[in-house]
Each structure stands twice: as C-alpha cells, then as structure tokens.
Amino acid sequence: MAKGQVLIEAVIGLTLMLLVVLMLQQQLMPAAHNNEAALTAQRHAIWARTADPEVTQTTDDYPSARASGRVLSSLSNLVELDFDTNNLRTSVAADEQTEAADYPMARITDAWSPTRAEQLQSRPALFVLNSLLSNRVVTVVQDGLGWLPIAKELASDSLIFGHVDADVVPERALTQIPYR
C-alpha cells in the first residue's frame, strides 16, 4: 500500500457520507418538525380543559371504571349519586393528520371534582349515614330535649346530624372549570 492511501480513502468515504447526510437533511428536518408538531398537538388535545370530540374520545372501558361503576350503581340505589366513570380520554388521529396516530395518548380525567360550591357539602353528605336523621321530626325532638338543662348539647343548633363543613376542604379542591 502506498503511503497516505488510507487517509485519502477515509477522507473520500467521510465526504460521501457527509453529502448523503446533507442531502437527506432536506427531507429529515421537515419530517422531524412535523413529528414534533403532531406530538405537541396530541399533548394539547389530551390535556385540554374541555374535550374536543374530533381529536379525543372519552370512554369507561377500563377495569377500574368497570369495578367502580358496579359499586357506584349499587350505591346509587340508596342515595342520589352523580359520579361519572366515563373519564378515560384517549386521543384520536384526525384524517388529515395521519402522523398523529404515531403518538396515541390517554389520560384519566377528574370527573368527580366538585364544580359548584354547594357540591362541597352535598356530595360528602350523601355518604354520611346520620344525615338521614336531619329531618323535621328529629329536629323537633332535639329541640324538645334541648330545653332540658342537662341535655343542651342535643338541641338542633348544637348537634347537627349529617353536617359537613366545607371550610375544611382546601380552596384549590373547588375548581371553576374542572378537567373533563
């Protein structure tokens, strides 16, 4: 072998590889930007405050929802519940964005959070058994017993059956527009 032949072959080989990479760069860079845009769009769609039916779909077809749905349906026979188990949001690729299908995403939304201030008291009160005693008849009996000097704590303004104090719930628990 002649002196420097390896160096010349290496330079020619690296030059050819550099030319191939530079020619492919015109194709690779736009594709990389398109993939990044598709990923960002899917993330935005799955984390949006309101669900867009063209981009996401909501389902209750997962094991935890089926199990909690059975429990909640039997509980709703006893008390009036409005806890939604249809809260698994998955991304759907749009027809014109076929590259978005490369990034399927899913998120379980918080469909149980209160949306109004009165729900901070009404929802937990459904699960307090002695809230059934907060009726007019029991209140009259309590007020009657509350007149006795030794039973002032039994008066209806002192012993409130089924009372739920919403002020002990952190303020951030009440969301104006919940993630759904």
pLDDT of residue 93: 65
CA gap 91, 85 in Å, rounded = 18
**Would you put residue 4 in left (φ > 0), alpha (ψ -120 to 50) or beta?**
left
pLDDT of residue 15: 95
CA gap 178, 172 in Å, rounded = 11
pLDDT of residue 78: 74
pLDDT of residue 14: 95
Distances (CA, A) of 143 to 68, 130, 146, 151: 40, 17, 5, 10
133, HSE (Cβ side, Cα atoms, 13 Å): 13
Intervals of the chain under pLDDT 50: 180
Segment 82-104, tens digit of pLDDT: 777 888 888 876 555 555 556 78
Q: What is the DSSP letter of 54?
A: T
pLDDT of residue 11: 93
For residue 50, give every residue at least 6 positions away whose Cβ sits within 8 Å of its Cβ, in sequence order, or none. Answer: 177, 180
pLDDT of residue 4: 84
Distances (CA, A) of 178 to 107, 148, 173: 14, 48, 10
DSSP E strands, the chain: 56-59, 88-91, 106-108
